[in-house]
Structure formats: structure tokens, C-alpha cells
Amino acid sequence: MAAISFDPFNALSDDQAQERIVAAKAKLGSRAVLLCHHYQRADVYRHADITGDSLKLSRLASQTAAEYIVFCGVHFMAEVADILSRPEQVSILPDMAAGCSMADMASRAKVERCWRELATVLDPDEKVTPVTYINSAADLKAFCGEHGGIVCTSSNATQILEWSFKRREKVLFFPDQHLGRWSGYRMGIPMDEMAIWNPDLEMGGLTRAQIEKARIILWHGYCSVHQMFQPGQIDRFRAKHPDGIVISHPECSFEVCRKSDYVGSTETILKTVKAGAPGTHWLVGTELNLVERLAQEVKPEGKTVQFMADTICMCSTMQRIDPQHLAWCLENLAAGNVVNRISVPPHEAVLAKVALERMLEAS
């Protein structure tokens, strides 16, 4: 059957789209599993079968009997779902425009150029372990698989660095400099032994001496959402709430992480705040949708949860998956049409899975 055009769905009101999502899900039944990342907008999140962070969602989806994995997240997440799922499962992204600006900051071509330039100073395949944050494209995970490297998440990055240093003396960490820096700091690595590689400059903007001294070479990448959080916001919170508690995601700047009481992944933030004492006041440095949802969940316990930034900042690319796109996607599946399939090329999938499996074994 010919695919159903998206155009009529664009004209649907949110309420109409919600009704059609419910109907299509009912028709599909267990043939489809709907995954929603913690940062997903509320009007989509409400339809989730499974919620969580990106790796957790992919692993749980692969354990279901579902034929279709509909990932309400961003492109790299749907790629991981495709890599880790069974061959007969199909990974789908409701809107192909849902990407990740941080992931886009490190391309395969730029990383390969970096590797070639490092080779003019040292032998990277003997001295450097490439480590990619899970927030990266599949071809970069494949690069790590090919070059003895590994994948990390925001919760296991320090552990993965320890694994890496047991094998080689240096690490090339991409695409998020902040997660790499905070993880290195926690291990006791001096700041002057963590150098920034700017992919737009020859030799990353580094001298030979800086490359030789560096234990961690940090890619010049970052999350646009977590860049919004500033140390001054924490200072103002503490002045107003001396007993307040600050928790931040490690994608925040080093200065924000150092001023926080806790630093952890999205799952860690949720668990820590939920386990906090009744009546506590929290300042949270991560994406707005998660913070607002968490605030409502803990409100009955007398806890207050405050968003760290002074202005609204949410994952704008994940916001592109709206009820209209989800309704279109699910109705096509119910009609027998697969739309927006995410399929990692087999040769890349094999190498990327090697890097992912190294991570799972190491952590």
C-alpha cells in the first residue's frame, strides 16, 4: 500500500492527533513499542510504552516481541535501537528532522582527519583510545569499534575512561568536551593534561608539546541545552535557599558541575531527587521537560524542583516529534507502511556493536 502523506496530519489539532495516536496504537497492539526519552515533550511522552534514557530504551526494546520500535527521541538514539535490536525488528523515527546538535559537531570525516593529524606526533592506534559518547552517530561508534575504542554514557564515562587507560596512555573523547572533562577531573587528571581539539583548526589548534602532554584530548563539542546553565544561577539559588540542593547533568560546564551537590545522568537525577527527603528544595540543571515532569511527581511529598536556567531551554530537535508526526507514523504502520525507517549500514552496525558491547562488558 502507498504510504499515507503527512500533509493532512499537519492540519490536525493536537486533540485530533491524540485521538488518532490512541486508535493506531490500539490497532497495532504488541506489534509496535513506543519509546520516549526523558526529554520528550509531554504531549508525546504520555503515549510511551517505555521511558528512560537512550541506551536503556534501546536495550529494553530489543527484549520485547515488537516488530516495530518507534523511537520518540533523536536520530542517534534510533540508530542505537537498530544496532542492538534483533534482525527482524524495525527502528523508526517519527520525524527525520529530530537530530542532535552535539552529535553533529563530530563527523566521521573530522574524526578521521584528527586521527591522521595525531599520527604525525604519535601512533594513535598504539597510544590513543577513541571514546565516543553515546550521543554520536553510528559511524563514529563504528570508528571506535575499528580502532580499539569504546562507547560511554553519562553514567559510566569515568568507568569507561579507566578501562581505556588500562589499554593505552591517552584518550580521544568526543563529541562532548564537558562530560569528558568532568569525568577526567573525577579521576584526578590535572586540567592541563586535558587539551581541547578544535576540528576546524589545523592539528586541532594544539602544539606537538600539548598533544604529547595531554592524557585526554577533548573534542570541541557541547550540548546547546546544557550550555545555558551558569554558575551565577547556582549562586543566586543558594543565596535564596541556603539549605537547597543542586543537581546537574555532566554535560553542563565544569564550573556548574563543581558548584553542584550532585552530578549525574538523567536517570541519576530522577532517582536522586525522588529519594530526597520530603520538603527539600532542588535546583536541577538539565532539560526543561524532564524537570517539569519531575517537579509534578515529587510535589505531593512537599519537595520543590526548580529549573536552573533563567530562560526556557529545551531540546529543540527532540521537540520536532509532535503528536501530528507520531499519528502519521503510527497510522502508516497500522496500514502496513513502514515510514522513516532508521537502518544503519551492516558494515557500520557490526563495528558499532563491537564498541557498544565493549562498553556493556566494561560497565
Cβ atoms of residues 306 and 281 within 8 Å: yes
Amino acid code (one letter) for 348: E
**What is the C-alpha to C-alpha distance for residues 62 and 67, in angstroms, rounded to an integer?**
10
pLDDT at 126: 97
**What is the C-alpha to C-alpha distance for residues 342 and 16, in angstroms, rounded to an integer?**
27
184-232 per-position pLDDT tens digit: 999 999 999 999 999 999 999 999 999 999 999 999 999 988 999 999 9
Specify the CATH number of the domain 103-224.
3.40.50
pLDDT at 320: 85
Amino acid code (one letter) for 192: D
Residues contacting 23, CB < 8 A, separation 6+:
none
Cβ atoms of residues 346 and 340 within 8 Å: no
pLDDT at 363: 85
Cβ atoms of residues 32 and 64 within 8 Å: no
Q: Tell me which of 3.50.50.60, 3.30.1360.70, 3.40.50.2300, 3.40.50.10800 is the CATH number of domain 7-98+317-345.
A: 3.40.50.10800
Burial 354-363 (b: 16+ CB within 10 A, else e): bbbebbeebe
**What is the C-alpha to C-alpha distance for residues 349 and 330, in angstroms, rounded to an integer?**
26
pLDDT at 310: 83
pLDDT at 135: 94
Cβ atoms of residues 74 and 98 within 8 Å: yes
**What is the C-alpha to C-alpha distance for residues 206 and 187, in angstroms, rounded to an integer?**
23
CATH 3.40.50.10800 in the chain: give the residue spans: 7-98+317-345, 226-307
- Averaged over successive runs of 10 residues, the pLDDT of the chain (363 residues) comes to 87 95 97 93 94 90 95 93 96 92 93 98 97 96 98 96 98 98 98 98 98 98 93 97 98 98 96 98 95 96 95 70 96 96 97 97 91
237-278 per-position pLDDT tens digit: 999 999 999 999 999 999 999 999 999 999 999 999 999 999
What are the backbone angles phi and psi of residue 350, rounded to the nearest 5°? -60, -50
Q: Tell me which of 3.20.20.100, 3.10.180.10, 3.40.50.10800, 3.40.930.10 is the CATH number of domain 226-307.
A: 3.40.50.10800
pLDDT at 225: 87
